[in-house]
Structure 1
Amino acid sequence: MGLGSEAGKNKRHRDRETGTLGKLVSLLDFVALADGPMRFTDILSLSDQPRGSLHRQLSHLVEEGLLEVDRDGRYRIGLRLLTLASRSWARNEFRAIAEPHLHRLQEVTGETVHLGVLRGAEVIYLDKVEGQQSVRMYSQVGNASPAYCTGVGKAALSALDDAELAERISGLEYRPYTEHTLRSASELLSDISQIRARGYAFDLEEHENGICCVAAPIRSDDGHMLAGVSVTGPAYRVTQQRLQTWAPGVVVAADSIMMDMRNRMGPKR
């Protein structure tokens, strides 16, 4: 059995920071990069750790579901790690699925289009298609923004059931980014009730002064991915009336992304 023990690979592992997290990640690397399940002695020969310490660390990884150990004492990648990897892959695939719909929406409106995914009570921007007359704004791919005061975030929150919504927003500090920012849970819940009724959300200078948007929710069939797509522009050019005009197209884009997700990422038969 190959153990992934090339000199360069080992050097990377041994040069890694020696803290607890670094050691645990190294162990995951050893098992993940091996050609097959590894025995304790195989890992011991690569890890440069005392036998007792290594046994404790492997036990922790097994308890957390990141590794599994079979009846013969051989270690392999655990289901939890595979699930995390699958989620990461799904987000990358999700961005590729959404991309043509984002560009189409940008061509129709001429304004900046965002794609964001909900993480806890924040929205993470996965993609951004600049408008024909781009305006400087906070959003950048990879940035996080509070969900309660962004169009994409509120749209994604609206797709949650009441119990999960309450859990996600419990304990939130409603920082007033602008004079238009929602200031309490009651205000947010009232807004989300309206979003659910009409199918789309507005951000009317709630996160950034002078920036407005309209957004629609995206939800995977299994509920593991909650996201939103929006059209954003400067308030002096993008009035609420114009946002209202664009809203049906934003909803169509969100629905089209969901349909493509179902076709490409759904269960294979």
Structure 2
Amino acid sequence: MAKREFDRDDDVGRVAANDTGTLGKAIAVLELVSTAQTPLRFTEILALSGQPRGTLHRHLSHLVEEGLLNLAPDLRYEPGMRLLKFASNAWAKNQFRTVAEPHLKTLHERTGETVHLGILHGQEIIYLDKVESRQAVRMNSQIGNASPVYCTGVGKAALSVLPQKRLDDLMAQFSFHSYTPTTHRSASELMAELLMVRRVGYAFDREEHESGIRCVAAPIDAPRHGIVAGVSVTGPAYRVAMEQLEIWAVVVKEAAHAIERDVEVRLGPGR
């Protein structure tokens, strides 16, 4: 590992006092680059991060030096190989993902379409695992990607099991960006659907995040382990009718309940 350099007048006390703030800013830069759809130039990162030019340059230099970011020949920053290795190891060791995996495979065998496992993280759903469809046309989703909770099946399923106060606080933060004509545009619209999801135990994505993509999802609620998540079956609208999703809702709920049971058994009593 390359040696980090600090200003000459740094002492132990000052470094300790500033470490959290400095680390947080560097992580913010790392997250900005690693979650961007395409590699970013310095000027783009500068505009998005809001950090001073000199500070940002130091953070980027250190992140490149440590292999967490890579500076491409066209002077764009992208995730580095060391960061990808960290991510790969984290996915492999994620206990929740490991517990859910056999149930995802069973659900895939029963439906033949793409199966996703996602966990609630703030206003987003982070996809922890995916079993690809057997069909020729497949989903372009990727493990580790994030999607808004209010316009995805897994997201709405996860929201449905939150305590009302936490749900209200979270919905107050939503921007309700209209990705498609069927995306919810207000908290009242979303809440009306979530009440239905609570009653039936599953949620749909009716081409709300991406045109031409539908899914049915069920919540996974393991409060003793701090897990609020969901599992879904997803397919293209031309191949998967809403009537078919209604039929699959039964097996999706069964998979979610099986995952909940295994989480309690295999992960212990929790907190």
TM-score, scaled relative to structure 2: 0.69
Q: Which amino acid aligns with 1:177?
A: Y
Q: Which amino acid aligns with 2:131?
A: V
- What is the rounded CA distance, in whole Å, between the counterparts of 2:167 and 2:103 in structure 1? 27
User: Match for residue 49 of structure 2?
Assistant: none
**Counterpart secondary structure, 2:119:** strand
State how 1:107-126 maps to structure 2 within 5 Å.
107-126=109-128
How many residues of Structure 1 are paired with residues of Structure 2 in the alignment? 202
- What is the rounded CA distance, in whole Å, between the counterparts of 1:94 and 1:263 in structure 2? 12
User: Match for residue 213 of structure 2?
Assistant: 211
User: Match for residue 246 of structure 2?
Assistant: 244
Note the residue ranges of structure 2 that are not aligned, 5 or more in a row: 22-89
The alignment-based identity, stated in percent, is 54
1:115-174 superposed Cα distances (whole Å, 9 cap, x missing partner) = 000001110000010011153434210000000000000000001011000111113111
The structure-2 alpha-carbon separation of the partners of 1:265 and 1:18, relative to structure 1 and needing over 3 Å to count, comes to farther
Does structure 2 retain, via aligned residues, the 8 Å contact 1:217–1:229? Answer: yes
Is it true that 1:149 corresponds to 2:151 in the alignment?
yes
Tell me the CA shift for residue 179 of structure 1: 0.8
Root-mean-square deviation (Å): 2.6
Residue of 15, 18, 25 corresponding to 2:3: 15
TM-score, scaled relative to structure 1: 0.69
Tell me the CA shift for residue 266 of structure 1: 2.1
The structure-2 alpha-carbon separation of the partners of 1:110 and 1:52, relative to structure 1 and needing over 3 Å to count, comes to closer
The structure-2 alpha-carbon separation of the partners of 1:89 and 1:175, relative to structure 1 and needing over 3 Å to count, comes to closer
- What is the rounded CA distance, in whole Å, between the counterparts of 2:135 and 2:258 in structure 1? 26
- What is the rounded CA distance, in whole Å, between the counterparts of 2:205 and 2:4 in structure 1? 44
The structure-2 alpha-carbon separation of the partners of 1:97 and 1:138, relative to structure 1 and needing over 3 Å to count, comes to same
Is it true that 1:53 corresponds to 2:14 in the alignment?
yes
1:203-250 superposed Cα distances (whole Å, 9 cap, x missing partner) = 011111111000000011326110000000011111111000010100
Q: Which amino acid aligns with 1:135?
A: V
User: Match for residue 202 of structure 1?
Assistant: 204
The structure-2 alpha-carbon separation of the partners of 1:131 and 1:137, relative to structure 1 and needing over 3 Å to count, comes to closer
The structure-2 alpha-carbon separation of the partners of 1:263 and 1:135, relative to structure 1 and needing over 3 Å to count, comes to same
Note the residue ranges of structure 1 that are not aligned, 5 or more in a row: 1-11, 20-47, 61-87
User: Match for residue 231 of structure 2?
Assistant: 229
**Counterpart secondary structure, 1:222:** helix
User: Match for residue 6 of structure 1?
Assistant: none
State how 1:47-196 maps to structure 2 within 5 Å.
49-54=10-15, 56-57=17-18, 92-196=94-198
The structure-2 alpha-carbon separation of the partners of 1:224 and 1:120, relative to structure 1 and needing over 3 Å to count, comes to same
